[in-house]
Amino acid sequence: MARQRDTAPRPDAVDAILDQWRRERPDLVLGPMATIGRLKRCSALVQRRLDETFSAFGLSGGEFDVMATLRRSGRPYSLAPTALFSALMVTSGTMTHRLQRLESAGLVQRVPNPDDARSLLVQLTPQGLELIDRAVQAHVENEARILAPLKPAALAALDESLARLLAVLENGGD
């Protein structure tokens, strides 16, 4: 793992936006804009780095998510399509497109549901299982590299704060 180092905040793209708003609308309280702006910018920059790793395995982020969800479901690495799109919070149309791509690549297959003869399950193929195991390993290593510049205490504080924010947002509350 990379050596931990301090990352003193420097002016960033969000600071430039805030400076413009301070000039144009000095009456606005911009603290929330700063936080949300940085969250959005971090999300976009992190996603770009994650997508680079997924791409190295011939996958999009969405395809990785489908395969990872099947993998972490445990043997036999299969789920109903409705369970998949519910777990991934995507529309059925989006899920259908992802499944068609993965199926044509030989990474997933549709198999009869032993509990309901009228339906099918989506299951990782042996090739898909091997690929997702390699991709998940690379993904976890990539995430560690992304976060390596943060000291453990800063990382723990960030994780705790994000967990609290997520709980508020998931409960739809203020």
Q: Is residue 48, in this structure, part of any structural domain at all? A: yes
Q: Mean pLDDT, 10 residues at a time, over the chain (174 residues)?
A: 52 94 96 96 97 97 96 96 88 90 97 89 97 98 97 96 94 74
pLDDT for the residue 5: 46
Q: Is residue 142, in this structure, part of any structural domain at all? A: yes
Q: Is residue 28, in this structure, part of any structural domain at all? A: yes
Q: Is residue 39, in this structure, part of any structural domain at all? A: yes
Are 103 and 25 in the same domain?
no
Q: Is residue 51, in this structure, part of any structural domain at all? A: yes
pLDDT for the residue 90: 87
Are 91 and 42 in the same domain?
no
On whether the CB atoms of residues 116 and 81 are closer than 8 A, the answer is no
Task: Quote the pTM value.
Answer: 0.85
Q: Is residue 49, in this structure, part of any structural domain at all? A: yes
Are 137 and 103 in the same domain?
yes
Are 89 and 123 in the same domain?
yes
